[in-house]
């Protein structure tokens, strides 16, 4: 595995990361945008910290925007490829728990996914998003242990807490040729949240 340390909110850093990948691998076929997350100072629009709002816009939305800006030309040069944007069920607007900054940034990325898919379909670049509900990462498990009231938010997840591998499987599918006819969609991985 080869890693590059950078900052998704800095255009020069994102461009350098893309060029580093192309230089080492010879071409670019897949882009996975996975930077982001929700902070403790998020909340309803009336009380969420303004710094939290701007952080979500910078990291979640602008970071994705920059990656698309610099990676898509390389995907086009390769004859097409796949972009996977990580969003959240919160972006649909009904599972936010009052996290307005996070939810609105993810909704923006969902819209960016659709518009970019439409624009670059002619170049055989597929652009999709994955929208997880609550995933059993170490951070989420710690939050649930520290805040038992947060368990109520999991009640709609009929299959329980999602495993990180479940998200990875969906991303691998969208990166593969098996999904060659799918573009412009947000795929929920929600453990049955929307089945009601």
Q: What is the CATH number of the domain that holds 129?
A: 3.40.50.720
Query: What is the band of 40 on the pLDDT scale with cuts at 50, 70, 90?
Result: confident
pTM: 0.90
Rounded to the nearest integer, the mean pLDDT of the chain is 89
Residue 196 domain flag: no
Q: Which two tokens stand for residue 58?
A: 């910078």
| Cα–Cα distance for residue pair 39/148, rounded to 1 Å | 17
Phi and psi, residue 47, nearest 5° = -130, -10
User: Is the Cβ–Cβ distance between 83 and 116 less than 8 Å?
Assistant: yes
Residue 43 domain flag: yes
Residue 3 domain flag: no
pLDDT of residue 96: 53
| Cα–Cα distance for residue pair 120/179, rounded to 1 Å | 16
pLDDT in tens, 45-55: 999 999 999 99
Position with higher pLDDT, 149 vs 32: 32
Q: By residue range, what is the domain housing residue 86?
A: 11-189
User: Is the Cβ–Cβ distance between 90 and 102 less than 8 Å?
Assistant: yes
Phi and psi, residue 99, nearest 5° = -85, 75
pLDDT in tens, 61-77: 999 999 999 999 999 99
Q: Looking at 53, 65, 70, 102, which residue is catalytic?
A: 102
User: Is the Cβ–Cβ distance between 133 and 95 less than 8 Å?
Assistant: yes
80: left (phi over 0), alpha (psi -120 to 50) or beta: left
| Cα–Cα distance for residue pair 109/91, rounded to 1 Å | 8
pLDDT in tens, 1-12: 677 788 999 999
pLDDT in tens, 140-168: 777 777 766 666 666 666 677 778 999 99
Residue 195 domain flag: no
- Establish whether 102 is a catalytic residue: yes
Residue 6 domain flag: no
Query: What is the band of 97 on the pLDDT scale with cuts at 50, 70, 90?
Result: low
How many domains, the chain? 1
Is residue 104 scored above 80 in pLDDT? yes
Residue 194 domain flag: no
Residue 173 domain flag: yes
pLDDT of residue 90: 86
């Amino acid at each position: 595995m080869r890693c590059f340390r950078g900052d998704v909110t800095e255009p020069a850093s994102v461009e350098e990361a893309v060029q580093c990948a192309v230089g080492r691998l010879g071409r670019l076929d897949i882009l996975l945008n996975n930077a982001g997350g929700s902070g403790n100072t998020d909340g309803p629009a009336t009380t969420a910290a303004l710094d939290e709002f701007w952080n979500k816009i910078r990291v979640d939305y602008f970071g994705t925007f920059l990656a698309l800006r610099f990676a898509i030309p390389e995907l086009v040069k390769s004859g097409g490829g796949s972009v996977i944007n990580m969003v959240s069920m919160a972006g649909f607007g009904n599972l936010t728990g009052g996290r307005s900054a996070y939810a609105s940034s993810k909704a923006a990325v969902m819209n960016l996914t659709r518009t970019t898919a439409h624009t670059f379909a002619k170049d055989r670049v597929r652009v999709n998003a994955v929208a997880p509900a609550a995933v059993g990462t170490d951070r989420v498990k710690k939050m649930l242990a520290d805040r038992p009231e947060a368990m109520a938010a999991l009640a709609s997840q009929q299959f329980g807490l999602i495993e990180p591998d479940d998200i990875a499987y969906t991303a691998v599918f969208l990166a593969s040729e098996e999904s060659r006819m799918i573009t412009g969609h947000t795929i929920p991985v929600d453990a049955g949240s929307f089945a009601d």
